[in-house]
Structures are given as structure tokens and as C-alpha cells.
């Protein structure tokens, strides 16, 4: 409802009516003072105290709509493009207008710009860390209402699109609700079965049968942690639907809670799984939080590898795995680095040499460096100024050489040609050396 001047009645318009209730009290007092002593034109600058990805649409749309309904104008100067990375303290945008009409909008405006920019930054880092992984936004039930759900979905889409432009990431391909599906280019939300359906059916297999009977044209995605038998129940579903499994139309969602391990794993076997698939992930220093994501309880790197092993060994290599439960920026970063920032094996064209690059070899290599220096000093002391080694020193050196002949050829200190080579070649050899020592520690 509007008066003759086209200005909406604050008491009749829901958007305007709730502003006094949601604004900070000191903004309302300032508005009253300005109304009594005269208005002026002001310019605001909006910035964040941490790096973010610029996500302005919801805030800007709200600001312009409120200004329109109040019968005033606001000039907005966007310093950045949507999806652009912005450093801490750098301006996001400026807006200018009547202080009387703008002063009480700051509370809601910052509520709409701050969380969205931080969420977009988190989504961006997750997608960049795992560029070949497709994400599904399942945050709606954790949001404080539909407005926050819409904001978080918008932010995830902005961060995801930024990751696509930068590294070609798959990013977020969908979400859980119809309301926010358009942010991801969809018309409906995605998802298959919650824990409640399995409880209703009485077994994971029966729930899969019920789901497939109701939705035969969609892929069969089963939740398998309800009874704590992830591997057993998954294999039972695969054997019940072998055609779908062979066609790659079966997937299992791992959502094991953090109070227990996935079926068939414990701490020792978790380390063994990563030793087989990603040994560098556990050979360097890790914090306790990182180790929980790698070999702890719940959905970890070891759990995913273990589950993949079970499916492959049973003859279902095309069955997909969907991992959920606590996948935020920190967990995704650990998952991305589970094999380290370098390949699991040193760069080499010789499979034989690479296969011998083990912890024992690294240990022997480090000890050999110390022993070689000590033997050289000892031989110089025994042989006098001539520098010739004694017979025992030469015998010990020859034994060490024979024992580690496969390693001597890889170390630039023992290869004159490598020692004379370009810096890049020497850098590769030094890299393998430092990796071996890091693995040994």
C-alpha cells in the first residue's frame, strides 16, 4: 500500500515494518537525531576483516528495494565483481544516499553480505581443493530458516562458479530443496533416502527395494550406516541389483557418525589402508584434527579407501561412493592432501628403483650419510696427510655401497653427471632425498 507520492506505508509493508525491530538500537537513535536536526548525504564503505569471495546480490537487491519503497535513491558502486576474491580490509562496495534513510539499514545489510561472502569463500576453497569431486549442498536443515537457506545456497553457487573458472572444478552440482535449486541451475532438489526410511523398512536392502520400486528411473543411492554394517549391507544391495551395479547406477552414501569406525576398520587397520593407498598421508607430521579425518572414526580417508576396496574385490568397480558427515573446508583440505602435495612415489622412470623407495631405505640412506662422513674423517686420521683410507675403511665402504647400490644411483652426491646437470635435475634429486627423510620421521 502506498500514498500519493508513491512511498510505501511502513506499517503496511512487511519489509519496512520489520526494519525497526531488527536494527541495532543506536542506529534508530541516530535516525531520530538526524530527523530532528537535519539530514545530509553520506557514503558508506563495506569491507570484511578476513579474506572472502564477493557475494553481493542478496544484499544489493534488498538495499535497492528498501530505497525504492522509501521513495529515496541510493548510489551503489561495486568495487569487485561477483565471485571475485577480496582480501581482508579491502572495500567490497560503496553506497551513498540520505543518512536518514540509510542509517537504520546497516544491521540487516551486513547480515546479508557477511555470511554469504564467508560461505562463498568456504565453498570456493572446498571446490579448489577437490576439483574432481562433485558436491551436493545439504545445508538446508542446518539453517535458521528459509532466508538463511537461500543465502547459503546462493553463496555455494558463487564459490563453486569461481572455482570452475579458476581450476576447472566440478563444484556444487545441486542441493537438497526445491526452493534453492535454481541457484544451481536445477528445478528440484536432490536426495534419495534418509535414515528414517531404513528404519521404516527394517533393513537397508528392503529400503533399497522400496525406493527402486517407487523411483525405477532414477539411480539407486543407498544410505548404509544405519545398522553399522556398511560393507555387508552395500554388498547385499549390489547382489540384489547386479544390473544396476554393473551399469554404474548404484551409489552408497557413507554417513558413519564420529562415535565409531566403519565396519571392518579400527585404528591399526586404518593406518594399514592408507599405507596401501596413500602412504605419504601418514608419514609426515599431522595434527590430531588431521589424523581424525585420515584414520579416525566416522567418514575418513581410510574409511573411503576401505569401502572402495570391498566393492572392487566383490566385483562391483562401477558402484559409486558418496561421502558425507562433516565435510567442511578443513576436512576437504585434509582429504585433498591425503597423498601429500607430491606424488606417492618419487619422480622416476625406473619402476624398480621406485618400488625400493621405502622407509627402511630412507633410514639406511640417512644413516649412510652420517657413517660416510665419519669414515672419511677416520681414514684421513689413520692415513695421515695422504688422505688414503685404511683397508678396513675401504671394506666397510664397499659393503655399504653394495648394500645400497640401488640407492646410490639416485643420489646426486654420488653421480658426477647429475652433479653437473642443470638445477632442475638436481632439484628433483634433492626432492626425493628430502621426501625420504620426511617419510622416515
Q: 352 pLDDT exceeds 80?
A: no
Q: Based on the domain organization, do 91 and 171 belong to the same domain?
A: yes
Residues 115 and 170 in one domain: yes
Given this model, what pLDDT does residue 240 score? 97
Does 366 reside within a domain? no
Report d(CA 98, CA 74) in Å as an integer.
Answer: 8
Choose between 192 and 304: higher pLDDT: 304
Residue 135 lies in a domain: yes
> Does position 81 have pLDDT exceeding 80, yes or no?
yes
What does the pLDDT average to over 351-356? 30
Task: Using CA atoms of 231, 232, 236, 242 in order, give the dihedral in degrees to the nearest 10.
Answer: 30
Span 110-137, mean pLDDT? 95
Q: Which domain holds residue 52?
A: 1-186
> Does the pLDDT value for residue 441 go beyond 50?
no
User: Integer distance in angstroms from the first to the last C-alpha of the chain?
Assistant: 73
Which residue did the predictor score with more confidence, 191 or 26? 26
Task: Let me know whether 225 and 154 are in one domain.
Answer: no
Among residues 223, 188, 308, 317, the alpha carbon closest in space to that of 210 is found at 223
CA distances from 341 to 27, 56, 335, 337, 359 (A): 50, 34, 11, 6, 19
- Boundary-marking domain end, from 145, 168, 186: 186
DSSP state of 130: S
Residue 242 has pLDDT above 70, yes or no: yes
Lookup: cell for 264: 571392518
Is residue 1 within 8 A of residue 8, CB to CB? The reply is yes
CATH number at residue 284: 3.20.20.70
Indicate the residue among 168, 186, 204 that finishes a domain.
186
93-110 pLDDT, tens digit each: 999 999 999 999 999 999
| pLDDT at residue 437, rounded to an integer | 29
pLDDT of residue 187: 94
363 within some domain: no
What is the total count of domains within the chain? Answer: 3
- Provide the phi-psi class of 145: left if phi over 0, else alpha when psi is between -120 and 50, else beta: left
pLDDT at residue 393, rounded to an integer = 54
**162 or 325, higher pLDDT:** 162
What is the pLDDT, as a whole number, of residue 31? 96
Same domain, 179 and 197: no
* Contact status, residue 413 vs residue 419, Cβ threshold 8 Å: yes
pLDDT in tens, 230-239: 999 999 999 9
Helix intervals (H) in 296-349: 301-313, 329-336
> Buried (b) or exposed (e) across 57-95, using 16+ Cβ within 10 A?
bbbbebbeebbebbeeebebeeebeebeebeeeeebbeb
48 with 103, same domain? Answer: yes
Q: Which residue has the higher pLDDT, 68 or 401?
A: 68
CA neighbor of 265 nearest in space, from 254, 249, 253: 254
Cell numbers for 37? 536536526
User: In this structure, what CATH number is given to the domain that contains residue 144?
Assistant: 3.90.1170.20
Q: Are residues 124 and 227 in the same domain?
A: no
Reported as type and span, the H/E element at residue 172 is strand 171-175
Q: Looking at the domain assignment, is residue 110 inside a domain? A: yes
β-strands 91-98, 41-47: how paired? antiparallel
Tens digit of each residue's pLDDT (9 = 90 or more) over 404-417: 444 444 443 444 44
Q: What is the DSSP string of 182-237?
A: GGGT-SS------HHHHHHHSSHHHHHHHHHHH-TTS-EEEE--TTS-HHHHHHHH
- On whether both 173 and 222 belong to a single domain, the answer is no
Last residue of a domain, one of 186, 218, 243: 186
Are both 177 and 208 inside the same structural domain?
no
Q: Are residues 200 and 290 in the same domain?
A: yes
Q: Confirm whether 401 is domain-assigned.
A: no
CA distance 27 to 20: 9
Kindly state whether residues 239 and 181 are assigned to the same domain. Answer: no
Residue 416 lies in a domain: yes
Same domain, 161 and 225: no
Least confident segment among 56-70, 274-288, 302-316: 274-288
In this structure, the answer to whether residues 293 and 315 fall within a common structural domain is yes
pLDDT value, residue 402: 52
Euclidean distance between CA atoms 123 and 152, whole angstroms: 10
According to the per-residue pLDDT averaged within each range, which of 342-346, 367-371, 388-392 is highest? 388-392
pTM: 0.72
DSSP assignment of 54-97, as one string? ---HHHHHHHHHHHHHHT--EEEEE-S-TT-EE-TT-EEEEEEE
Assess if residue 8 is contained within a domain: yes
Residue 359 lies in a domain: no
Amino acid at each position: 500500500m502506498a500514498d500519493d507520492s508513491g512511498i510505501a506505508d511502513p506499517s503496511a509493508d512487511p519489509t519496512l515494518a520489520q526494519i525497526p525491530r531488527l536494527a541495532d538500537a543506536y542506529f534508530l537513535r541516530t535516525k531520530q537525531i538526524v530527523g530532528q536536526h537535519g539530514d545530509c548525504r553520506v557514503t558508506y564503505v563495506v569491507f570484511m576483516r578476513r579474506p572472502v569471495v564477493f557475494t553481493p546480490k542478496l544484499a544489493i537487491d534488498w538495499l535497492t528495494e528498501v530505497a525504492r519503497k522509501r521513495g529515496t535513491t541510493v548510489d551503489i558502486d561495486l568495487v569487485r565483481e561477483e565471485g571475485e576474491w577480496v582480501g581482508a580490509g579491502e572495500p567490497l562496495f560503496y553506497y551513498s544516499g540520505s543518512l536518514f534513510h540509510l542509517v537504520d539499514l546497516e544491521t540487516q545489510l551486513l547480515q546479508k553480505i557477511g555470511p554469504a561472502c564467508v560461505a562463498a569463500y568456504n565453498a570456493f576453497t572446498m571446490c579448489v581443493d577437490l576439483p574432481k569431486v562433485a558436491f551436493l549442498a545439504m545445508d538446508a536443515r542446518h539453517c535458521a530458516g528459509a532466508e538463511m537457506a537461500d543465502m547459503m545456497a546462493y553463496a555455494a553457487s558463487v564459490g563453486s562458479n569461481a572455482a570452475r573458472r579458476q581450476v576447472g572444478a566440478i563444484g556444487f552440482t545441486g542441493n537438497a530443496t526445491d526452493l534453492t535449486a535454481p541457484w544451481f541451475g536445477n528445478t528440484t532438489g536432490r536426495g534419495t533416502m534418509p535414515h528414517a526410511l531404513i528404519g521404516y523398512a527394517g533393513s537397508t536392502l528392503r529400503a533399497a527395494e522400496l525406493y527402486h520400486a517407487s523411483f525405477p528411473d532414477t539411480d539407486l543411492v543407498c544410505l548404509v550406516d544405519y545398522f553399522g554394517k556398511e560393507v555387508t549391507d552395500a554388498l547385499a544391495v549390489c547382489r540384489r541389483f547386479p544390473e544396476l551395479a554393473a551399469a554404474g547406477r548404484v551409489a552408497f552414501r557413507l554417513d558413519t557418525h564420529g562415535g565409531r569406525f566403519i565396519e571392518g576398520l579400527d585404528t591399526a587397520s586404518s593406518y594399514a589402508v592408507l599405507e596401501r593407498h596413500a602412504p605419504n598421508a601418514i608419514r609426515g607430521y599431522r595434527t590430531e584434527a588431521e589424523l581424525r579425518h585420515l584414520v579416525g572414526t566416522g567418514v575418513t580417508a581410510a574409511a573411503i579407501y576401505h569401502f572402495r576396496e570391498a566393492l572392487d574385490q566383490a566385483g562391483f568397480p562401477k558402484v559409486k561412493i558418496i561421502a558425507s558427515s562433516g565435510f567442511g573446508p578443513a576436512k576437504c583440505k585434509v582429504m585433498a592432501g591425503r597423498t601429500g602435495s607430491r606424488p606417492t612415489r618419487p619422480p622416476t622412470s625406473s619402476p624398480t628403483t621406485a618400488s625400493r623407495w621405502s622407509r627402511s631405505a630412507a633410514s639406511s640412506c640417512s644413516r649412510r650419510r652420517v657413517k660416510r662422513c665419519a669414515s672419511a674423517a677416520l681414514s684421513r686420521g689413520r692415513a695421515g696427510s695422504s688422505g688414503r683410507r685404511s683397508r678396513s675403511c675401504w671394506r666397510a665402504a664397499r659393503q655399504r655401497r653394495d648394500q645400497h647400490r640401488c640407492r646410490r644411483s639416485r643420489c646426486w652426491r654420488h653421480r658426477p653427471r647429475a652433479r653437473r646437470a642443470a638445477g632442475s635435475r638436481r632439484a628433483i634429486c634433492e626432492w626425493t632425498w628430502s621426501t625420504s627423510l620426511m617419510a622416515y620421521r
